Chains A and B, each alone.
Chain A
């Protein structure tokens, strides 16, 4: 059954166009979310939430109006459409009456392997998995003082229609388990977290090696207990596969979204077809990877997602473009319009963003460094696209001394400037891997994958402790 009747959607869009808007869109949503957690080796909490609402978006030229409501009755939607239409009236209606086609069906493909919904799965089964993580962590080391295993489930049902006749419905599913392990030795405390995820199967944890997840998280926490602080200053850094891709996400990715490019607030503005990175760098943003954490059948403007080559052999080939961004810049839409939920108007955002595999091996890169850092696992980061200043944190790292891995180090942010740092990626590895993350920006927090093979950055500022 559709979230909203087609006739009501058409009526709402027509009302939104009544004062001269050029474009109108309705995004409606009904979502389920659940968070289960374990604490002190016992089930601790279970929260369930349901989101329900819609956003009416209209464009007067390139000016945007966005109105939200929780009232999906005809009265509520028409009132929202009238508020949108009345925000910036330019005269009388210009657009033709909206006629929607039949809703494009949700396809049963790599995006959707329908089975059970999370609310149909026995909660005891979920807690059993989380308690297993806790028990394995505690068995791995007597220094474990606390664990926080969590299971986060989200099912988002959306309906997107616009005045150009687009009408789609979709169901998106995101399931993620986190484990945070606290350890303490002689008054010294540390913590570490890792996660696993699925976009298709709510009982993904059945196929997951929970023992390995718990043991590895605990071992990483123990490594930090014996680690000293990273040094301060500029060093060569080898950044390993997977979440290491946060370097590209922050150093470059956000600056290639028309969110910043269209307002001349990116250091990458006007650099299309120019060399912005070493020729060993090819970077891609792909919303079509089957089962990918950031994959979508339709973006949040209702368009099919695409695979977009951003940088090819160091040359900037494309930005990530949403509808409004395309209107402002003239670039082709890339199916990159995204939003957290109906409370946000969409804007161009990343999906699964990664640096393509190269030819070097991790061992070769480490051998090339006389004194530097091997960043095995990364934390989050941020960027100011207007200045290009970016940063990200290292979670688990080791010194490299004379081409060999040496002692573990901890606690440092790495900082740089986008174009400068891209030019310092001198080797790209052959071990590509993608990892899941949540990306926060003007249209909220969305699932986005980052990825890369191992990279060698010849010089970057390490914010460790100065002696």
Chain B
């Protein structure tokens, strides 16, 4: 009996998005990152091309982070009060392919820093490392809209990834992205219909959808990962079937979610029999990352160096020899 041919041919392709710009493109980056371009499901090398492997960005804050458990603070304990030094450690010692600078210090409920302080942090990180930057707002809409004009301007020509736009707040950032040449993260609250809507709204605001990266929200392993997984999977299938409004590379922001999970942060005293948190925490983050890679993640924002290393090794294995090994 012959085995029936089960390969699928897809008509669509994921958009190719490059973050960062070297001197020749008007920026200062010593490396740039390109994601997307796939014509097949994740790691289905036999069905199409997967020209760009997923990448890992490491997360840096503009203030001393609150709420991070010790296990994930430990690798950065001496540099967490200095975003530039922290970013350097991520790149030089832990192989971060991008730095995701979260402007958490601008949060009105926290340090409430102003635009100029944000610019200072951004500039310091930009000068400290050669990798491309993701700059993420504090999440308070009015404050982000207040801070981003100055941040986008100081980063002009660097081709950064700025986040995020949402269904209710997309006009400011799309205008800035157009004016200063930045890519943009389109966020939706674990809702595929809103994900598609945000992408279309960006286009309606005059921002090309080819410059968007989609962020469907991220749930940690054990905390809603299956909902996000199925949304990513469905988005990717729709994109490969030709739905241009879903053809963006997908970003997962792991750190914020994973390190809230008790499985990642509780000590062995609190959870007898669960093993040392020093190993368990990074493993939780890596397992979450691996799951999202299989769902179609193109870009992962992560925290723990051990998890980053494990994830990068997994990506290398999944991409090697056409995935056949």
Query: Do A and B assemble together?
Result: no
Residues of B whose CB lies within 8 Å of any CB of A are none
- Using a CB–CB distance below 8 Å, which chain A residues touch chain B? none
